[in-house]
Amino acid sequence: MVTRIFLVLAIAAGAAGFYLTHTQLADKLAEMKTARETAEANQQAAVAEKDKVKAQLAETETKLAETTKERDQAQGDLKVAQETIEKEKQTTEGVRGELAKSKAETVKVRAENKEYDTLKKDLKLTAADIRKAVADLKTKTKDLEISKKEKEILARNNAKLSAEISSIKTPYASVPLPAGLKGKIIAVDPKWSFVVLDIGEKQGALKNGEMLIVRNDNLIGKVRIESVAADRCIANILPFWKKDDAIEGDAVVY
């Protein structure tokens, strides 16, 4: 009987303990569920806030890009405006310069006309007389230029004839050349020891004339003119004067 009583009490105590444990577990599970739901809600709120901040950042970047574009456009417009103003300024200065030049020329022409009128009045000449005098002056000037050229040709021919006579009388004598005559070597034949010079009869070169070869103020050698054309001549290199090989571009002086 006693054993049965203890058994009943044990069963009752176990049931009470189970009920208590089950109740506490249920409360704990409910608490954990509430905490989880709270955490999920907080996480969702954080994600929503993050998305909101991200959207705001994207909007800010878009506005910044638009502002930057507008700034660049404004700077470009400003540069174009400045260049336009500078061009207009230069154009204005150019027009002012031309205007000043035109005014100066006008003043000059007026002074010349005044001088012309004074001269005409003093000399008692008509406009036709002055035009005739100008025409006569041009004709005489032209005749003088022709005469000068003829004298130059005669002088060259005379020098050429004198050189030929001198070479006949004294074949190995050097012929005088015009003072200050100079030129340069444009071709060299080292095999036959002759050079081609860029001066000829027009410049005063004469057969048997001798000239020095110079390079950088240094004497290279000496040549003797063998044949002469209008603007070219051929000269032999004199061996006893040779200090170095002549090359194209070397100067020749008398």
Q: Which of 63, 90, 123 represents a domain boundary (last residue)?
A: 123
In a domain, 188, yes or no: yes
Q: Which of 123, 141, 159 represents a domain boundary (last residue)?
A: 123
In a domain, 110, yes or no: yes
Q: How many domains does the chain have?
A: 2
Please enumerate in sequence order all residues whose Cβ is within 8 A of that of 253, keeping only pairs 6 or more positions apart, or say none.
Answer: 181, 182, 211, 212, 214
Is residue 179 within 8 A of residue 208, CB to CB? The reply is no
Residue 89: per-residue pLDDT? 78
Whether residues 185 and 115 fall in one domain: no
Q: Which of 123, 138, 163 represents a domain boundary (last residue)?
A: 123
Whether residues 113 and 44 fall in one domain: yes
In a domain, 139, yes or no: no
In a domain, 64, yes or no: yes
Please give the structure tokens belonging to residue 143: 């005749």
CB atoms within 10 A of CB 130: 14
Q: Is the pLDDT of residue 19 over 60?
A: no
| Distance (Å, whole) CA 108 – CA 98 | 15
Band of pLDDT at residue 136, cut at 50, 70 and 90: confident
Band of pLDDT at residue 1, cut at 50, 70 and 90: low
Residues spanned by the domain of 67: 30-123
Q: What is the pTM of this model?
A: 0.39
pLDDT in tens, 210-252: 999 999 999 999 999 999 999 999 999 999 999 999 999 999 9
Q: Is the pLDDT of residue 13 over 60?
A: no
Long-range contacts of 163-166 (CB under 8 A, 24+ apart): 163/206, 163/207, 163/208, 163/209, 164/207, 166/208
